[in-house]
Amino acid sequence: VTLNDVAREAGVSQATASRAINGSTHGVRPELRERVLAAALRLNYTPNAAAQAMVRGRTTTLGLIVHDIADPYFSSIAAGVAQAAGMAGLQVMLASTEHDPAREVGIVELLKRQRARAIVVAGGRLDDRAGTADLRRALALYRQTGGRVAGIGQPVLGVDTVVVDNAGGAAELARELHRLGYRSFAMLGGPERHLTAWERREAFLGALADLGVDVPDERVIPGGFDHEGGARSLRRLLATGIRPEVVFAVNDVMALGALGAARELGVRVPDDIALAGFDDIPTLRDVTPGLTTVCVPLVDLGVRATELALSSTATGVRLVDVPVEVVVRESTPGR
Amino acid sequence: VTLNDVAREAGVSQATASRAINGSTHGVRPELRERVLAAALRLNYTPNAAAQAMVRGRTTTLGLIVHDIADPYFSSIAAGVAQAAGMAGLQVMLASTEHDPAREVGIVELLKRQRARAIVVAGGRLDDRAGTADLRRALALYRQTGGRVAGIGQPVLGVDTVVVDNAGGAAELARELHRLGYRSFAMLGGPERHLTAWERREAFLGALADLGVDVPDERVIPGGFDHEGGARSLRRLLATGIRPEVVFAVNDVMALGALGAARELGVRVPDDIALAGFDDIPTLRDVTPGLTTVCVPLVDLGVRATELALSSTATGVRLVDVPVEVVVRESTPGR
DNA sequence: TTGTAGGCGTTATCAC
DNA sequence: GTGATAACGCCTACAA
C-alpha cells in the first residue's frame, strides 16, 4: 500500500497526501488533512523509508561497531550511543564483529551502502598493520561519500576520536598503589600488540620506574584480553612461584577472570595478593572484594563519540580527551 | 557517485554496469566486467541500498527491541540475535526502549517504515492492558505488511514466541530449596504486574504450598525488577524484623542488588540468610558467593527467537518452549 | 491551498 | 551479450 493508494482513497492528489502525512503541515487544509490521515490509517499505510531516503539522499541510521555486545564494556558504550542517537533522532544499527577484523571492513562497506549518517567504531585496536590499514581505508572511503565517523580508544583510524587517557590512568594507578605501600608488582598484560593493553602496560611500568620500582619481564604475563585470558595469565604467573604483593590486570574483565582463578587456587584476594583492574565496568558493583580500578566513563564515551561523529566534518581529525580516575577499593587495602 | 557515473566512466550502459557489479554474473563479457569493476573502484562507487531496497521491495534489516542494552540479560540475548542474524545475512537494528512502553510502539512503526524483514521483541511484558494492547496492535499491523515477528518471554503479543518456562523453573527451584532443608522463605517479588515476575512468584509459592509450606503475604516484597529494586526490597524485608532462612529474588539482577544491600547491613550470605535468583546471567561467574539460580540459556534465546521470526508465517502463532534448569551454588548451602 | 510532473538510483523486462 | 526503458514510492519545485 503506497502513498498513491492513500491519495486515491482520500480523493486527493499524491502531493497533498504527502504533505498531509509527512511534510510541511503548512499548506494543507485541515479538512483534507483529516481525510488523508483517516485513509492512511484505514489502509494501514506506512511511508517507505527506503523511498524517502532515496529522494532525500540520506538516512537516519547510525552504525555502531563493537567486538562483542555481551561484554559489559561494550554494552555500556552501546547504551550511551543508543541514548545520544535517540536524542538526535537517529536509529542505531548494531554490528558485532565477534573479534573478526575482516568483518569490520565488511560492516563499514555495508553501512556505506546504507548511506548511514555516521559510524561509531568502539573496538580497541590491535597494532597490526594489515587489519587497521584496511579499516582505515574503508572508513576514509566512507567519509569521502559524506559519512561521518568517530572512534573510541586510540586515534589510529584517521577519524575523530574519543581518546581514553589510558596512559594517565595507568600511571596514576601505579603511583597510588605505590603510595599504598606496594613495592612488588606483577602485571597481566593482555595481548602484546593490543594498543590499549600496550598503553596501559607501558604507562604503568613507566610510572613505577620513575618511583624506582623495577618490574622484571617475567612478571609481565601476556595473554588474552578477556575473562579467560585473565584467569590463565594469573595461573601462569602463580605457577612460576612468583608471589607479588599486587597484580595489575590491564582491564577489569581480565581482573575478574584472575580473581576467579585465584579463588580456585585458594589464593585469597587481597590477603595473599592484591589486585587492580581498569575500566570500572558496571559488573564491579556486585563483586567482592571491591576491585580497585581506573574508572572510565563508559556510557559517556558512547555519548561523546556519537556527538563527535555527528558534528564531524569531512576533513581534519579532532580528538576529545576523556579523563579517567583511579578508584581504590578493598582489593588493594595497602600494606 | 551513482551507477550511471560508473557506466559512463566504463563506457557501457547502466544496465551492463548493474549486471557486472551486482547482478547475474551470467550475461556480461569478462572484459567489460573488468572495466566496470575498475571504474567503480576508481570512483569509490557503492550501490545505494535504499534504491536497491526500493526496487526489490525488501531490506536485509532485522529489528531488535530491548529495554536496556546495558543489562546483561538483554545484552546476552542481543549477542544471540546478532549471531543468528549474521548467519542469515541480516543486519541488526538495535532499539533500546529505556523501559518506556510508548517508545516500543514508535520503534515498531519505524521498523515498519524501514520495511525491516523481521522484529525480535525481547522485553518482558507488564500486565498493563493499555501498553501491551498498543504493542500488539502495532505488531499486527506490521505483520500485515509482510513483516515477521518473534517475541521472547510470554506469548502475550499475538506473535510467535520463545517461551521461557518461568513457572517450571521457579517451582523446581522451590522444591530444590525445600530439599536442601529450607522451611522459612521470603521473596523479592518484583513489580506486581510484571508478567515474568508474576509467573515466577506464583509458581514458587504454588510449589511450596504443595510441599506444605506457607509463605505469608508480608514475606513477599514487591519492588523494582532491577538492581536497586532488589536492594530496596531486601532492606524493606529485613526492616520488618523477619529473618527468613532463604530469600528468592525473581531475577538475578535483583538478587545481586539484594546481596549488596545485605552486605551493607552486615547480614552475611549464606550464613545469616540464603539467597537465590533466576536467569543465570553471565555476571554471576564473578560473584561470591556463587548464586543459586535457574539457568536460562540467554544467548540461545536470542538465536531461537531470530530463527523463529525468520521462519514465521503471516498467520498462526507458534510457541517454542525453552527448558530451564536449577543451578545450586554456594548461596544456598542447605541446612 | 492544491495538483502536475520530474527525478532520486536501481533492477528488470524487453528488444536488438 | 548489450542497451533502451519502464517501474519502484516518494518528495518538491513549479504551475494553477
A146 with A111: CB under 8 angstroms?
no
Q: Is the CB of A60 under 7 A from strand D?
A: no
B residues 191..220 contacting A (CB < 8 A): none
Answer yes or no: are the C-beta atoms of B119 and B62 closer than 8 Å: yes
Which pLDDT score is estimated for B129?
Answer: 73
Which residue places its CA closest to the C1' of nucleotide D7?
B55
Helix axes B252-265, B72-87, angle to 10 degrees: 150
Residue count of chain B, please give it: 335
- Quick check: B2 contacting A, CB < 8 Å? no
Q: Which of A70, A83, A288 sits opposite B76 (nearest CB)?
A: A70
pLDDT, tens digit (0-9, with 9 covering 90-100), for B120-147: 999 877 777 778 899 999 999 999 999 9
B76 interfacial to chain A (CB closer than 8 Å): yes
Q: Which residue is nearest to nucleotide D5 (CA to C1')?
A: B15
> Which of the nucleotides lies closest to B14 (Cα–C1')?
D3
Say if residue A136's pLDDT is above 80. yes
Q: Is A37 exposed, middle or buried (0-12, 13-18, 19+ CB in 10 A)?
A: middle
Residue B144 CA to nucleotide C15 C1', Å?
38
Contact A3, A17 (CB under 8 A): yes
pLDDT digits (tens, 9 = 90+) for B65-74: 999 999 999 9
A227 and B285 in contact by Cβ < 8 A? Answer: yes
Averaged pLDDT for residues A266-287: 97
First to last CA, chain A: 73
Q: Which residue of B has its CA nearest to A146?
A: B1
Q: Cβ of residue A2 near strand C, that is under 7 Å?
A: no
Chain B residue closest to A137 (CA)? Answer: B44
Q: How far off is chain B from A127, nearest CA to CA, in Å? A: 26
List of residues 6+ apart from A76 with CB closer than 8 A: A281, A282, A298, A299, A302, B70
Q: How many CA atoms lie within 13 A of B251 on its CB side?
A: 28
Q: Cβ of B55 < 7 Å from strand C? A: yes
Per-residue pLDDT tens for A293-326? 999 999 999 999 999 999 988 778 999 999 999 9
Spatial distance between the Cα atoms of A208 and A228, rounded to a whole number of angstroms:
27
Nucleotides of C under 7 A from a protein CB: 1-5, 7-13
- Indicate the Cα dihedral angle A59, A63, A69, A75, nearest 10°: -90
Instruction: Tell me, yes or no, if A286 comes closer than 8 A to chain B by beta carbon.
Output: yes
Per-residue confidence band for A62, with pLDDT thresholds at 50, 70 and 90: very high
- How distant is C1' of D13 from CA of A46, in Å? 25
Task: Give every CB contact of residue B112 below 8 A, 6+ residues apart in sequence.
Answer: A46, B138, B141, B142, B145, B147
Picking from A6, A76, A91, A113 by the largest number of B CB atoms within 10 A of its own CB, the best residue to mutate is: A91
Query: Cβ A78–B98 below 8 Å, yes or no?
Result: no
Under 8 Å between Cβ of B223 and B229 = yes
Please tell me whether any atom of strand C lies within 7 Å of the Cβ of B22.
yes
Statement: residue A129 has pLDDT above 90: no
| Partner A contacted by B96 (CB < 8 A) | yes
Interface contact B89, partner A, CB < 8 A:
no
Q: What pLDDT sits at residue A202?
A: 98
Residues in chain B with CB shorter than 8 Å from the CB of A141 are 44
Kindly determine whether residue A93 and residue B96, on different chains, have CB atoms separated by under 8 Å.
Answer: no
Contact predicate A305/A150, CB 8 Å: yes
**pLDDT tens figures, A210-268:** 999 999 999 999 999 999 999 999 999 999 999 999 999 999 999 999 999 999 999 99
Residue with cell 502531493: A15
Q: Which three cell numbers stand for residue A230?
A: 585473565
| Contact criterion met (CB < 8 Å) for B286 and A286 | yes
The closest CB to that of A46, out of B93, B109, B259, belongs to B109
> What residues does A7 pair with on adjacent strands?
none
pLDDT at A22: 84
pLDDT reported for residue A25:
72
Residue B7 CA distance to nucleotide D4 C1' (Å)? 14
| Threshold 0.85, pTM exceeds | yes
Residue B200 to chain A, least CA–CA distance (Å): 23
Shortest Cα–Cα distance, B138 to chain A (Å) = 10
Helix axes A14-21, A30-42, angle to 10 degrees: 90
Contact positions of strand D to protein Cβ (< 7 A):
1-5, 7-13
Chain B positions in Cβ-Cβ contact with residue A59 (cut-off 8 Å):
50
- Nearest nucleotide, C1' to the C-alpha of B1? C9
Residue B321 is predicted with a pLDDT of 96
Q: Would the CB atoms of B115 and A260 count as touching at under 8 Å?
A: no
DSSP A10-75: HTS-HHHHHHHHTS-STTS-HHHHHHHHHHHHHTT----HHHHHHHHT---EEEEEES-TTSHHHH
Q: How confident is the model at residue A59, as a pLDDT? A: 92
Asked whether residue A70's C-beta has any atom of DNA/RNA strand C within 7 A, the reply is no
Q: Which of A50, A96, A260 sits opposite B285 (nearest CB)?
A: A260
Q: What is the pLDDT along chain B (335 residues), one digit of tens a residue?
A: 999 999 999 999 999 999 999 877 778 999 999 999 999 999 999 999 999 999 998 899 999 999 999 999 999 999 999 999 999 999 999 999 988 888 899 999 999 999 999 999 998 777 777 788 999 999 999 999 999 999 999 999 999 999 999 999 999 999 999 999 999 999 999 999 999 999 999 999 999 999 999 999 999 999 999 999 999 999 999 999 999 999 999 999 999 999 999 999 999 999 999 999 999 999 999 999 999 999 999 999 999 999 999 998 877 899 999 999 999 999 999 99
* Cell numbers given for B212: 506444605
Residue with CA nearest C1' of nucleotide C2: A16
B93–A96 CB contact, under 8 Å = no
Rounded to whole angstroms, the Cα distance separating B190 from B63 reads 28
